[in-house]
Structure 1
Amino acid sequence: MFKSVNQQPRRSEERDGMDRGTVGSAQSGRLLVEVREEGLSAVVTPAGELDHHTADLLREPLEDCIERGFARLVVDCSRLEFCDSTGLNVLLGARLKAESVGGGVHLAGMLPVVARVFEITGAEAVFTVHDTLDAALRE
């Protein structure tokens, strides 16, 4: 059984004069990830900003769910405030891994700003998208 986990961004080295370790502070949009089991699904809830600096904080739990035998992943996007192309690639990679073991990735409750990224890129066509988490879990 999964427990709720909050993963904090790891401190990285300073590059280009910017302290990358400050990414993830409350002021700059920390990404917290919660994972729980709901029947045969693993529900992964990222909260905050999914981008180049925080992508591994979501990638690792998604891959861990698949390794634990959860082929059906439901990503509750209702608390995801931002997603860039790196974040999109994390979700696409999880989709491919889940499909390779007979499952899939379902996205639920996307805020308009995140849904727009999927619409612009056409990625909404390769995911099963649900308006709410409850709808995703009922399917």
Structure 2
Amino acid sequence: MPRIRATGYSIPERRTEAGTVIRTMLKLRAIPDRRPALIDHYREHRVLAASAPYGCLSGELAVDPNNDQAAFVTSRWPSAAAYEDWLSSPVRDGIMRGLQELLDPSHPPEIQILDVIDEVSTEESS
């Protein structure tokens, strides 16, 4: 799998079995006092919904109540290939360009990609 360069960070080459569901965890650190604007950007641009056509199965934007700069985006993808499609999409690039001005340049975004090996959900599908 090739190295992926996405606006704001790069993803190291990784090995995974084809068809493995993955969970991504993105940690963002806003410029002091700019986290509300970061949240507004995610909502106004419907970032989580924008990733659905690329295969995102679910996603959440969460904040740390004890750190007024931290925000986390977790997403579930049917495969690493689907996530790669999102990372290289022009839709995402446009969204990230607007987000860059809200991020603390001394703390670049951090991404973790995890292979899901077991799961349970009590939520009913729509």
What TM-score do you get using the length of structure 1 for normalisation? 0.30
Bigger helix fraction:
1
Which structure carries more relative contact order (alpha carbon 8 Å, separation 6+)? 2
What TM-score do you get using the length of structure 2 for normalisation? 0.33
